[in-house]
């Protein structure tokens, strides 16, 4: 066998054995992304129940189905006798909490926080009025 090849293969094996434990952990920590979804279907923290209540929806399955066929949150609220303004207020409050947490954690600067806070209500309202056709 070629001596050069033996040295290269040996170096790779030694590197993998010593660095194997370090490869399990990423050296780069990802920056957490804000949830910009207008709908939070996760009910583990109870936020889904508030949304269902504001939309006057019976279940998450009904909400998901309505969104899937292309209905906007405004349409869903109007069809079910829900309160669209409450839906927007709920989403704005949740996103403000997320932005505040990102600021506290140092993931965004004070300037970024202020800029995003200024756009929040209009962004949520526009998104809630938009029907996304997924079919």
At 133 the pLDDT is 74
Question: pLDDT over 70 for what percent of the chain?
Answer: 63
> What's the chain look like in SS3?
CCHHHHHHHHHHHHHHHHHHHHHCCCCCCCCCCCCCCCCCCCCCCCHHHHHHHHHCCCCHHHHHHHHHCCCCHHHHHHHHCCCHHHHHHHHHHHHHHHHHHHHHCCCCCHHHHHHHHHHHHHHHHHHHHCCCCCC
Q: What is the pLDDT of residues 54-63, one digit of tens each?
A: 999 988 889 8
Confidence label for 17 from pLDDT (cuts 50, 70 and 90): low
Q: Is the pTM of this model over 0.85?
A: no
């Amino acid at each position: 066998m070629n001596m050069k090849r033996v040295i290269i293969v040996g170096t790779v094996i030694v590197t993998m054995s010593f660095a194997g434990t370090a490869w399990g952990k990423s050296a780069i920590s990802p920056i957490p992304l804000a949830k910009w979804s207008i709908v939070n279907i996760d009910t583990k923290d109870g936020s889904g129940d508030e949304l269902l209540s504001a939309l006057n929806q019976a279940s998450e399955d009904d909400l998901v189905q309505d969104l899937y066929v292309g209905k906007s949150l405004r349409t869903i609220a109007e069809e079910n006798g829900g309160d669209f303004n409450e839906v927007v207020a709920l989403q704005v409050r949740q996103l403000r909490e997320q932005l505040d947490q990102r600021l506290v954690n140092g993931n965004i600067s004070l300037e970024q926080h202020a800029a995003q806070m200024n756009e929040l209500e209009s962004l949520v309202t526009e998104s809630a009025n938009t029907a996304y056709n997924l079919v």
